[in-house]
Amino acid sequence: MTFNTIKQLFYGLYLTNSFGYRLSKVKDPMEIKRLRLAYSEAQLDALHISVKVENPEKLPQEGQYLLVVNHRSIIDPPLIEVALKHTTIFGPWISKKELYNSFFFGLFVRNAGSILLDREKSQMSGFFAETKEAVKRGESIFIFPEGTRNKTDKAVTTFKEGSRLIALKNRLPILPVYIKTDADKALKNALNDSKLAQEVTIVIGDVIDYKEKTSLEIRYREMFSLDDEAETSK
């Protein structure tokens, strides 16, 4: 482990906990969005990673959506927060139980606006009730439809069906977003070289009607011209 890696880990721990504490004192959604953005910009600035948005004209400036995005890296949420900087789109991230209990991320995740997804529970009624409450408050829902980080060579892995259900149950149009650059590689490069400046490209797709019958995974792959074949079982 390099000295820069150790330094970045300690700084990241400081950021997540200091912003987590500040967020615990805030209730206004737009103030939470502002603090999430400030955290994201501080974290990415420390790594010398900038964000480029492709198809910015397709990015809505306001409204409620189910925002679906591919997932390769722990810095994916900050990348999305920065991409949405000039919009009023805001809402909770769907987060795994492991993040809620994480020493590194727990305080931030619990207070920054998130909905716990515990797949070990036999009943999902509580989860869907929380998404419904968020939508009633005028918020969007942010989700990684793959369910976990993609550690394969494929562009995306199989989507979980829960994403489509959230959209249907809440009548939310779906906003597809694709992190084109391998953010995990960018993170590793940043940790290995403290002077390296990198740019991550995020592509905005066309909004999908929640009533559309085509598999979300297939539509996502087609929209971003991904080479992998979608699961035939979809």
How far apart CA 80 and CA 142 sit, in angstroms, is 10
pLDDT digits 0-9 by tens, 45-98: 999 999 999 999 999 999 999 999 999 999 999 999 999 999 999 999 999 888
How far apart CA 124 and CA 19 sit, in angstroms, is 30
CATH class of 3-223: alpha beta
pLDDT band at residue 230, thresholds of 50, 70 and 90?
very low
pLDDT digits 0-9 by tens, 124-135: 888 999 999 999
Q: In whole numbers, what is the pLDDT of the chain averaged over residues?
A: 93
Q: Which residues of 101-135 are buried (b: 16+ CB within 10 A; e: fewer)?
A: ebeebbbbbbbbbbbbbeeeeeeeeebbebbeebb
**Residue 109 DSSP one-character state:** H
Whether 208 and 58 have beta carbons less than 8 Å apart is answered as no
pLDDT of residue 101: 82
Written as six digits, the tokens of 141 are 């829902």
Least confident interval from 48-52, 120-124, 159-163? 120-124
How far apart CA 43 and CA 55 sit, in angstroms, is 24
pLDDT of residue 53: 98
pLDDT of 102 strictly over 90 = no
pLDDT of 229 strictly over 70 = no
Q: Quote the percentage of the chain above a pLDDT of 70.
A: 95
Written as six digits, the tokens of 85 are 């900087």
What type of residue sits at position 160? K
**Cα–Cα distance list, 234 to 33, 158, 160, 226, 231 (Å):** 35, 9, 10, 16, 6
**Torsions phi, psi for 193 (to 5 deg):** -135, 105
